[in-house]
Amino acid sequence: MKKFVIVLLSVFFVALVTGSIQYASADHSLEGQGIFKDENSINLVSTKDSKYQIHLQVVVRNAQGQLVSVSESIDAKYIPHKITDYILDEEFGKKEIVITNKMKYEKIQDIGTFDVQKYRFRTSYHDILSTWSIEFTADFPEHGMKNLPVFEVYTPHVYLTEDDTFTLHWTVLREIN
């Protein structure tokens, strides 16, 4: 699993660097539609009334495999830039078409199980803010190496201990025109 993640991140890095450098150079002049708000901040906007619907379920189990908690949310944000569609198109595998309330969507799912001790949290897992994201790393000429939280979801607080594992069940629906 660890080798797979390293290979996958390497592929993302190369694809993003070669495919998005032209976008980032004029990014600040896009009036709220760019990747960056300023030199250090990523531009994220709510998925409410957008072409994206995002659902995240976080399942926590203890060292014995017993269920500790389940938390889920649709309170999400995304980068309002064509790099978001590019990442969905190029970096995720299987997609399916679903129809909900007479609307046609492309459905993308991603499921990963992680060990608390090995997961790369932004802060200590004791201080987790319940912000979960699908991140991609890229080197931007004006910003340097950045982890882009292409999608970010806010859940109720998830309590974790040293021996816990957690599974992130991501579902992204993208409206098809």
Select from 5, 81, 1 the least CA-distant residue to 44: 81
Three-state SS for 39? coil
Q: pTM value?
A: 0.72
Spatial distance between the Cα atoms of 138 and 91, rounded to a whole number of angstroms: 14
Q: Which residue has the higher pLDDT, 15 or 141?
A: 141
Euclidean distance between CA atoms 85 and 1, whole angstroms: 26
Map out the domains of the chain as residue ranges: 2-175
Question: How many whole angstroms separate alpha carbon 107 and alpha carbon 88?
Answer: 10
Spatial separation of the C-alpha atoms in residues 10 and 153, rounded to whole Å: 24
Residues 84-139: pLDDT tens digits? 888 888 888 788 999 988 899 999 999 999 988 777 766 555 545 588 888 887 77
- Mean pLDDT of all residues belonging to the chain: 78
Residue found under tokens 């201990």:
161
pLDDT in tens, 27-73: 444 455 677 776 667 788 899 999 999 999 999 999 999 999 999 99
pLDDT digits (tens, 9 = 90+) for 66-82: 999 999 999 999 988 88
Residue 158 tokens read as 């998830």
